């Protein structure tokens, strides 16, 4: 595959990247197996590894760091902060404030065993923190050499614009990248986020390309979620009663069969067709899953296949809005009703 540049950062990455959320306590608890998955991905030519401090309360970062020893200089290492790490009730050990960011980055550097992070990302918007504070603190981390570039994750278009404007006003370094959820079943970012990111010269690294396993075809109306699947281990994130998703899967399976490809490979290739997308995060729990995902290679879908997919899930549609994984505070009842 041709390498793609993360926005205007000058950093080039393979369009297939390794996401690590399920390497560790949230998925595969065999540390040695997890590190073999990382090595297999690097051997296959993937050079972007993405993690977050909140995955397993820091345990995943502690798995990834040693796995990169001897190869760190060849890897674009990305992590995130915002969520609380560990069992505590301190409201200041979370969020997007400078206070928490400066501690969080040092904790991540320690767990990862590195002196810098290539791409540091704000995991979610924080309505309690002025975006200007976050932008300026990120800029300071870049200038201090702690991080090389920074980005946002799961930010709506208006928050991305606010971050860009805040950077312009203060002369700070603007975000280089956005990391949104994106799949055939969750296309809402086509309405605005992808266009806004491209307009500001930002890269886009997408997550949840298989919609929690729906686009593998493993979930059916007739059978319970397979043991060990996301639908089994994370039922709160599984849309098991969504008839619209079952309908879509059946139609997409027919399209994939007509194109002579697996639905999994069709889903990945479909994402990479969008000109605004830099890379897609693969989230394998096992080496076998990684091998299957890597087999997508440089698959390109023809126009008829792309049109058929659009007929099943129209551009800009989220079959379930909850799959965006962040809802604006303005939708809360307290924001829509006057105090009583």
Catalytic residues: 55
d(CA 334, CA 337): 6
Contacts of 247 (CB under 8 A, 6+ apart): none
d(CA 229, CA 316): 27
d(CA 23, CA 155): 24
User: For residues 164 and 126, is the Cβ–Cβ distance under 8 A?
Assistant: no
In this structure, are strands 117-122 and 177-179 parallel, antiparallel, or unpaired?
A: unpaired
d(CA 194, CA 157): 8
User: For residues 211 and 185, is the Cβ–Cβ distance under 8 A?
Assistant: yes
218 token code pair? 């493993």
- 49, containing H or E segment: strand 48-50
Q: For residue 297, which phi and psi values (nearest 5 degrees)?
A: 55, -130
Q: What is the 3-state secondary structure (H, E, C) of 183-232?
A: ECCECHHHHCHHHHHHHCCCEEEEECCCHHHHHHCCCCCCCCCCCCCHHH
């Amino acid at each position: 595959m041709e390498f793609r540049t993360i926005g205007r950062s000058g950093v080039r990455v393979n369009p297939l990247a390794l996401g690590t959320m399920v390497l560790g306590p949230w998925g595969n608890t065999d540390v040695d197996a997890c590190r073999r998955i990382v090595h297999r991905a690097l051997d296959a030519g993937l050079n972007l590894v993405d993690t977050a401090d909140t995955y397993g309360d820091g345990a995943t970062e502690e798995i990834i760091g040693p796995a990169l020893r001897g190869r760190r200089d060849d890897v674009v290492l990305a992590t995130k902060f915002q969520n609380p790490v560990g069992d505590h009730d301190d409201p200041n050990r979370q969020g997007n404030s400078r206070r928490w960011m400066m501690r969080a980055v040092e904790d991540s550097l320690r767990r990862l065993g590195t002196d810098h992070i290539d791409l540091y990302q704000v995991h979610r918007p924080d309505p309690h923190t002025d975006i200007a504070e976050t932008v300026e603190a990120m800029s300071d981390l870049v200038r201090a050499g702690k991080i090389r570039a920074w980005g946002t994750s799961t930010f709506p278009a208006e928050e991305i614009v606010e971050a860009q404007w805040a950077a312009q006003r203060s002369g700070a370094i603007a975000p280089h990248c956005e990391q949104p959820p994106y799949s055939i079943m969750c296309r809402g970012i086509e309405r605005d986020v992808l266009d806004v990111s491209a307009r500001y010269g930002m890269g886009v690294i997408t997550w949840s390309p298989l919609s929690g396993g729906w686009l593998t075809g493993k979930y059916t109306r007739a059978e319970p979620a397979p043991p060990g699947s996301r639908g089994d281990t994370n039922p709160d994130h599984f849309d098991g009663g969504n008839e619209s998703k079952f309908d879509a899967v059946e139609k997409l399976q027919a399209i994939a069969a007509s194109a002579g490809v697996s639905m999994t490979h069709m889903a990945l290739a479909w994402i990479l067709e969008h000109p605004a997308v830099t890379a897609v995060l693969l989230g394998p729990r096992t080496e076998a899953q990684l091998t299957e995902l890597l087999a997508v290679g440089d698959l390109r879908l023809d126009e008829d296949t792309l049109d058929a997919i659009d007929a099943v899930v129209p551009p800009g549609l989220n079959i379930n809005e909850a799959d965006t994984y962040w809802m604006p505070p303005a939708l809360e009842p307290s924001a829509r009703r006057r105090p009583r």
